Structure 1
C-alpha cells in the first residue's frame, strides 16, 4: 500500500515538475516508452546493487594475541549496529536533515514540491529537499558503487530533475525493502565526515576519541552538521562556522522536541572539545609505527602474492591475525639499535626471527636499526631491509653451511677430515675474487685464495672447519661435491628468493647490457663456474637466512616463512590463504648432523665465541658467522629448537665502503674490520638470550653414525 501511494505521489511530482521546469518538452510517445523502460531497468539494477553490495571496510592487522597494530583502507569505516549509536546522534541527524523521516516513504513530497517551485522561480537548482533515504542513495552511489568511476560519481551528484527523479525512485525501492532504523543505520555507516573518515564510528574516534554510543549532544550536533559540508564546516579549519552550524542543529533538536530549551542552551555553550589532533586511524604500514612497520610490509607482500590483491585488502574489511610477537620484536629492535644506532650513516643492522616447525615456520619478528617510515632525514626507510634481498654485498662465510650440507649429502660426515691449507689455487672453477691468471688457456683465470690468517692447521674435521671457517677448506670441499650440488643445497634449505635474483639483488633483466644481470644468481654462478659461491659474496635476504636455520632446526623440513595465523572476512568467516606446502629439503638425519656440526661456533675456538661469552650464552645452538671480503657486510645465523634467527649488518649508503667497528662506534671507513662474530653475533645473542628467558634448555638432536665419520 505504501509503495502504491508513493508511486501516485511520484506521478503527481512528475506533473508538477513538468509544468514548472521552463523549456522542458515532452518526448514523443514511443521515445518516452523506451526511455522509461531504460530508466526502470537502471533503477532496478542500481537498487539491487545498493542493497547487496557492502561498503568498503578497512582491514585490521593484529599481532599473535589479537591486538591491532595496522590498518589498511581507502575509506576509514567501521560498521556500527543501531543499538551502539547514541539516540542523541540519531535525533541530531533527523532534526538537521529530515524531521519527517519517520512519516514519509522515502521522499518528502511536500518538501520536494516546495523546493521544485523555489528552483523554478530562481531559474536554477538551488534546493534539493532530499530525505535521509535519498541522501543515503546518493552517498552510496558516490562512495560505494561508483567510488572508482569519476563519471558515475558526477552523474550521481548532477543538479538535474532527471537525477532527482531517479534518486527518488531508488529511495522508494529502498524504503520498501528496509526498515527506517536500518536505513538510518546504513546512512550513518556510509556518509563521509571529511578526508578519509566515513561513518559515525570513524568520525566519533577521529573527532572526539570516543565511540558512537557515548556521543554527547554537542558532539552529535557537530557531526550531524558535517555530513553535507565536511570541508566548509571543518571544525579544525573553521571552528566558528562549525560552532554556528552545531548550535543551529541543537536549536532544531529543541524545535523537534528532542531536547528541552534549557538543555539546548547548556549544550550550545559547550566548547568544541576536539581531539588533538583530529585524525583517523593511521593507514598502511607507515602508520603502523617504526617498530612493526617492516613486519606489516611483509604481511601485505605475503598476502598479495598468496591470493589477495592490495585493493581487496583496502576495502574487504578483513581481520588478519599474524604471527607477530611484540615482545620479541621489541627485544630484537633494541638489540639491533644497541649495536648500530639508527642514526649511523650508511650502516643497516637487520634481524629476523622464525619459529622452527615441521608444518609451519612462523615469522615472529622482523626489525632493523632503521625505523620504517617516510622521513629520510630521520633515517627512516620503506625498503624491506629484513625481509627482501637488500644486503647487496652478501652474507660471507654463512654460505659454507650449504657446502657442508652438500658434502653430507654426498656421503661425508661431520667428523670427516678435510684439507685446509693456508692458500689454494682452484683449477676446477673459474672466476671469483681474488683471482690469478692461469698459465694455460689465454684469457681464463684460476681461482686463487687464502685463509684469513696462517693460524689454521693444514687439516681439520668438517665440524671444526664450520666453527673456525677456513676459506680454502670449503672451496676444496666445493670442488669435490660440485658447485651445482652446493647451489642446489642453498635453494633446498631456503635461499629461494635470493637465488632467483641476479647478482645486483633484483629480478633478472633480459634486456640488461651486462650478461650477469640477465640471469639469476643460481644461473650465473653455475654457468660461470664461479667458486666464490661458498664464500657468499652475492646479495642476500636476512629472513631467508633465518629460515635456513629454521629448516635445519626442523629436521630438514623447509616451509615458506609465514606471518599469517588466520584471516577472517567482515562477517567473521575464515578466508583461506594459499600457501605452498612444506618440503623435506634434506633427510632428517642429515639436518640433525648439520645442526650438531654447526654447534661449536659459540665455543672456545669458534668465530662467535666472544659474543656468546659476553651474553653468558650456554644453551646448545647451531650457528655460523660470515664476513665478506671487503668488509662491506657481515652476518650471523643461529638456531635452538625454540627459535631461529639471522642478523645481517651491511652498507646501505650510496658509497660502497667498508665497515669499521674497532676503536669507536660503527662507521664507514676505507679498509673495514667488521666480522660476523662482532656486530651480527652480538645482536643475535642479545635478543636470543632475552627470547629464551624462562624456557627450558633443550639439547640438539643425536647424530646417526653414518653422518659422523662414514
Structure 2
C-alpha cells in the first residue's frame, strides 16, 4: 500500500527482561550487521592487545623505516657521501687516462693513452649509423627519461628464469654516465648501490641535455677496443675511414662491439664479429630501421677490417710492437679500467737490450738496401711509403728475445716502421724457417739411438714422391763430402745428410720432436720438411729453441710482471713461471754443443766476427731463393731469433743467407747486451752425457789401450743410454779411458792453459797422465781453428769470385741492352 508523503512508521521500544533468557526460548538469529559489528569488536580488541604487548617493536620498526627512507632520500639527492658528479663536465669532457709501462728495471718507456678521435657532430653521422647503435643498445632512447623501465622489467623476469644475471638494462644515458664518471660509477662493481647511482646520474644528464646531445656525447666517448674511443677513432682504427663514411655493414659491426670489445674483436675473432654484426642488422630490420632487402645485402658483405696502422707519422717510441701486445693483454684482463685509471704496469722488457736490438736491426737493413753486402734491387724503405693490405713493399725485419728459464720477453721488434705497418711479424707472421729447423731433426735422431760421431752419406740422392715425380735435394754449396758425421752435418748445415737422417728416423718422429719443443704451427710430413719448409713465427721458433738453451726445460713467454694502481696498491702480479720439461736434458746438451761449434766454425761465424766472444750457440736458416733469412742464437741466459725478408716473399739479394744478413745483427746486439745476460760459463753437462775418444773413420769409441789406425783420436760426446760398441783399430802405448763424464768449466779452463816450455828439460816435474790427453785435444782444437780460418778465407775468395762474375755478367747485359 502506498503511504502518503511524510508518513513515518511507528516504532515500539522493546524492554529486555530476564525472562527472555529462559532455555525454552530459542535465541534470536544474528543478522549480517550483527556479525560485522561482532567481528569488528574482536579485531579492535586484538589490535589493542597487540599494541599493548608489542608497542616497542612497532615503534622501532617505524623509526627504522623512517630512517631508511630519509637515508635513501639523502643518498638519492646527494649520490652518497661523496656527492653527485658534476654532469656539466660533459661539455668539456676529455676521456682517457694514460697508464704507464715500465721495463723490468722500473724505467718508464711508454704509456697506453687511448686513441682518441675528434668529436663528430650528430648531424654529420649518417642515420643508419645512429640507428645501428640504438637498435642494439637502446631502442626506446627517444621515449624514456634516462631509464627504460619496460626493459628493467623484462631483464628482471629473464634473470629470474635464468637464476642469475643474464640480461642488463643500461640505456645509452646510463652507459654515458659510466664512461664519463668511471671513478664514481665503477663498471666492475655489480652492486645495487652502484646501479642506483648510475640511474641517479642518468636522470641528471637527461635534465641538463637534450636527446641529440646525449647521443652525440655517447658516440664520441664510448669504447670500441684496441685503444679506440669514440666512433670516429673506431671508424679509422677498423676501417681506415671517417664516421661520416661508414656503410651500414660497418656501422652494425661497430655497434656490436660495444657489448664486448675484447670478445668480439674483429681481428682476433672474425667469426664472432660476423655473428654479432648480423644480429645488429636483424634487430634493425625487426625494428623497422632498415628494409629487409637492405639488411640481407649488408649481411652478405665481408667484414672489411683493415690491418692496424697508425694515423700519423713520427717517432713511435721504444718498443711500439711490444707496447701494443701488452695493451692487448691488459685489455683482456682489465677492459675499460685500463683507460679509466692511471695504472703502473711493470713489464718484462729490458729497455737497454730493446734499444740495442732496434738500432742494430735498423743498421743492417739499411746496409742491405744500400748495397754494402751486395747488389740489392728490391724496393727501399721510405718514410712516405704506402703500405698495402699485404704489408709494406720494402725489406722488413723482426726480432724477439726471451730470458731462459722464465720465458720473460726481453726485446720485441715486430717490424721496421710501426706507423706504416702495425702488423706484428714477431707473433703473427708465419714464414718458412729453412735450416733453422734442422736441430729438431738431430734431436729426434739422438732420441732414437743415433750419435754425433755417426757417419752419414753426403752424396747426391733422389727421393720418389709418387706419380713419377722425383725430388733431388742439394747442399747449399752444391758440394758433397761423401760422408760426414752427424756433428759436422748439423754444424755446417748440410742438406743431404739431414734428409737421409730424417728418413731413417721417420718424419713423424721429427715432427713430434718439434711439436714437443714448442712448434705449434702445422708441420707437413713431407720429404722436404727436415730442410725447413715449416712456416712459423719468430716468437714460436724462439720459444722452441729455449728448449735447447734451458737443457730441455721451457717456460711460456710472458710480458707482464705486475699491475699497480696510482697509489701503488698491487692489483695483479704474475705467478712464478711454469716450467715444463719438453726434451731430455742430455739431448738438449748435445745439440747445444754442436750449435756452439756452428758459431765457431760453421754457418754462424758472423757472430764472432761481429765482436761477441762470450758463450753462445746458434743456427742459421735460409729458404729457397733466399726469400727468408734467419738466425736463432742463445746463451745460458738468453735466446733470441732474428728474421729478415719481404712481406710479399721475393728474393732478398744474391748470396743472401742467414749467416751473412741476420747473424751479425744478433752478434752486435749481444755485444751491447746488459752484463746480466752474458756469461763466459757454459752449460753444465747432465750426468747422462759421457765423453769418449773415438776412431775418426768409423766414429766409434776406442777400446781401452787402443788408438786409430791412422791419425789422432778425437773426443766426442755420447748419451750414456746410446753408447755404441767400442772398437780397436790398432794397439798403442797410450792408454785411454773407454768413456768418462764430460769435463766441467774448470777442466776446460785447465785444458786451455799454456804448456811449460821446458818440461822436456827436466826443470819441471812431468805433467800428470791426463795432460797427454789434453795435449792431443788441444792440437785437435788448434787444427780445427786453422781449418775454419782457411775455410773462411776460401769462402770469401769464392764469394768475391762469384760477385766479380756476376758484375761482369750484369755489365755485359747492360751493354747488350744499350746496343
Does structure 1 conserve the Cα–Cα contact (< 8 Å) formed by 2:414 and 2:423? Answer: no
Measure the CA separation in 2 of the matches of 1:41 and 1:591: 72
Equivalent residue number for residue 570 of structure 2: 573
| Cα deviation, residue 642, structure 1 | 2.7
Measure the CA separation in 2 of the matches of 1:467 and 1:51: 73
Equivalent residue number for residue 659 of structure 1: 652
Does structure 2 conserve the Cα–Cα contact (< 8 Å) formed by 1:286 and 1:372? Answer: no
In the alignment, does 2:406 pair up with 1:395?
A: no
Measure the CA separation in 2 of the matches of 1:554 and 1:141: 47
Does structure 2 conserve the Cα–Cα contact (< 8 Å) formed by 1:70 and 1:288? Answer: no
Structure 1's 160 and 338: CA in aligned 2 closer, same or farther, altered over 3 A?
closer
| Cα deviation, residue 675, structure 1 | 0.5
| Cα deviation, residue 681, structure 1 | 0.8
Equivalent residue number for residue 119 of structure 1: none
| Cα deviation, residue 494, structure 1 | 2.4
Equivalent residue number for residue 680 of structure 2: 697
**1:314-463 superposed matches below 5 A:** 314-315=339-340, 317-341=342-366, 344=381, 345-357=393-405, 360-367=406-413, 370-373=416-419, 376=420, 381-385=421-425, 387-390=426-429, 392-421=430-459, 423-427=460-464, 430=465, 438-439=467-468, 445-463=469-487
In the alignment, does 2:580 pair up with 1:583?
A: yes
Does structure 2 conserve the Cα–Cα contact (< 8 Å) formed by 1:353 and 1:645? Answer: yes
Does structure 2 conserve the Cα–Cα contact (< 8 Å) formed by 1:412 and 1:709? Answer: no
Does structure 2 conserve the Cα–Cα contact (< 8 Å) formed by 1:620 and 1:640? Answer: yes
In the alignment, does 2:548 pair up with 1:552?
A: yes
Q: Aligned to 1:599, what secondary structure does the other structure show?
A: helix
Equivalent residue number for residue 642 of structure 2: 647
Does structure 2 conserve the Cα–Cα contact (< 8 Å) formed by 1:356 and 1:641? Answer: yes
| Cα deviation, residue 483, structure 1 | 1.8
Structure 1's 141 and 446: CA in aligned 2 closer, same or farther, altered over 3 A?
closer
TM-score (norm. length: structure 2): 0.47
**1:494-513 superposed matches below 5 A:** 494-496=518-520, 499=521
In the alignment, does 2:662 pair up with 1:680?
A: yes
Measure the CA separation in 2 of the matches of 1:414 and 1:286: 53
Could you give the per-residue CA deviations for residues 651-710 of structure 1, whole angstroms, max 9, x where no partner exists? 124xx32101xxxxxxxxxxx431111111111111112226695411233360243854
Does structure 2 conserve the Cα–Cα contact (< 8 Å) formed by 1:649 and 1:680? Answer: yes
Does structure 2 conserve the Cα–Cα contact (< 8 Å) formed by 1:291 and 1:372? Answer: no
Q: Aligned to 2:408, what secondary structure does the other structure show?
A: strand
| Cα deviation, residue 648, structure 1 | 0.6
Measure the CA separation in 2 of the matches of 1:352 and 1:568: 26
Q: Aligned to 1:424, what secondary structure does the other structure show?
A: coil
Equivalent residue number for residue 625 of structure 2: 630
Of 576, 580, 600, 1:603 maps to 600
Equivalent residue number for residue 243 of structure 1: none
Q: Aligned to 1:531, what secondary structure does the other structure show?
A: coil
| Unpaired segments ≥5 residues, structure 2 | 1-67, 86-94, 117-175, 188-194, 212-219, 223-309, 370-379, 382-392, 691-717, 725-819
- Aligned pair count? 428
Measure the CA separation in 1 of the matches of 2:111 and 2:592: 40
| Cα deviation, residue 309, structure 1 | 4.7
In the alignment, does 2:51 pair up with 1:68?
A: no
Measure the CA separation in 2 of the matches of 1:396 and 1:597: 18
Q: Aligned to 2:631, what secondary structure does the other structure show?
A: strand
Equivalent residue number for residue 536 of structure 1: 532
Considering Cα pairs closer than 8 Å and 6+ residues apart, tell me whether 1 or 2 has the greater RCO.
Answer: 1
Could you give the per-residue CA deviations for residues 587-644 of structure 1, whole angstroms, max 9, x where no partner exists? 212211111021111223x1122x1343134333211111001211110111111321
Could you give the per-residue CA deviations for residues 164-188 of structure 1, whole angstroms, max 9, x where no partner exists? xxxxxxxxxxxxxxxxxxxxxxxxx
Measure the CA separation in 2 of the matches of 1:637 and 1:323: 20
Measure the CA separation in 2 of the matches of 1:573 and 1:293: 25
Q: Aligned to 2:450, what secondary structure does the other structure show?
A: coil
Measure the CA separation in 1 of the matches of 2:202 and 2:416: 44
| Cα deviation, residue 42, structure 1 | 11
| Cα deviation, residue 545, structure 1 | 2.2
Structure 1's 330 and 576: CA in aligned 2 closer, same or farther, altered over 3 A?
closer
| Cα deviation, residue 370, structure 1 | 0.9
| Unpaired segments ≥5 residues, structure 1 | 1-35, 77-137, 164-193, 197-282, 431-436, 440-444, 500-520, 661-671
Structure 1's 492 and 195: CA in aligned 2 closer, same or farther, altered over 3 A?
same
Does structure 2 conserve the Cα–Cα contact (< 8 Å) formed by 1:58 and 1:317? Answer: yes
| Cα deviation, residue 51, structure 1 | 7.6
Structure 1's 162 and 545: CA in aligned 2 closer, same or farther, altered over 3 A?
closer
Structure 1's 47 and 613: CA in aligned 2 closer, same or farther, altered over 3 A?
same
Could you give the per-residue CA deviations for residues 487-526 of structure 1, whole angstroms, max 9, x where no partner exists? 2222222223xx1xxxxxxxxxxxxxxxxxxxxx13xx1x
Does structure 1 conserve the Cα–Cα contact (< 8 Å) formed by 2:629 and 2:656? Answer: yes
Q: Aligned to 1:364, what secondary structure does the other structure show?
A: strand
Measure the CA separation in 1 of the matches of 2:427 and 2:442: 25
TM-score (norm. length: structure 1): 0.53
Equivalent residue number for residue 486 of structure 1: 510
Measure the CA separation in 2 of the matches of 1:75 and 1:384: 18
| Cα deviation, residue 72, structure 1 | 2.5
RMSD of equivalent CA atoms:
4.2
Q: Aligned to 2:104, what secondary structure does the other structure show?
A: coil
Equivalent residue number for residue 668 of structure 1: none
Equivalent residue number for residue 79 of structure 2: 47
Equivalent residue number for residue 202 of structure 1: none
Structure 1's 466 and 143: CA in aligned 2 closer, same or farther, altered over 3 A?
same
